[in-house]
Structure 1
Amino acid sequence: MDALQRRNIPGIDPRCVMCGEEDESAEHLFSSCCVAAVIWQQVSRWCNIPNLLVFLVKDLLVAHDFCGLNGGKKEVVKGVIRVACWSFWRARNEAKFNRKTISIGGILSEIKSGFVVRVPPRFEVLAFG
């Protein structure tokens, strides 16, 4: 959205399509948007890790380093966060360009179905539920 505004493209609503509360930017969309906050809370609960606190987009790139896990479990959480970002972005695009209604449950379902993992027995502690 920032790039379109800089180019003075007319007719573009600058508000976030996810929450409608603020102008959309990458920082807002992935960190301060109330819909994103719910997504990160649910991802944290699903991965059985402390709540992800996201203040900047770059926090998502390192969040797995601060979830209290090591090795393969940490890599699984890293993958889940990346799939969550992609699913959230896809939902945003569907709402923005195809006028689809935002569904937090739908986004969470896509995250879970998009991240199918066969967990080796040594990782059973990391229970996705």
Structure 2
Amino acid sequence: MTDERFFQILEAYGADPARWPADERAEAEAFALGHPDLIADAAQSERDLDALLDQLIEPERASPLLERRLLAQLPVPALPSWMAPSAIAAALLVGAFIGFASGAMTVPGDTGDAIYADAFTGYEQDWTDWLGEDA
């Protein structure tokens, strides 16, 4: 076992070997016995933290009857009847706008061809309009 892995186990599970993962416990205990000077400070700080955590008292949970009575006294928020249909209508309008606008927002793949087509398509018609029907 590497010292890095041992310190990960020590930080995650505490100083008590009974809490360490069962498949790594034997290796970790052997590492601890083989390197007491390396782990002394870290093990002591983890023991102190374990002692503090063991002193914590679990709060008592309220009885289910009391919980129901307290929840029954809370006011129920009333939503106006127009909110849900308005939200649906707004979503539909935004979706329709994005759907129609997405065609105008797309850029053609080859803009050079589009510019050429815009510039030279229908030029015969333009000349006849300018010169008249005789041209």
Q: TM-score, normalised by structure 2?
A: 0.22
Higher relative contact order (CA 8 A, sep 6+): 1
Q: TM-score, normalised by structure 1?
A: 0.22
| More helix per residue | 2
Structure possessing the higher radius of gyration over alpha carbons = 2
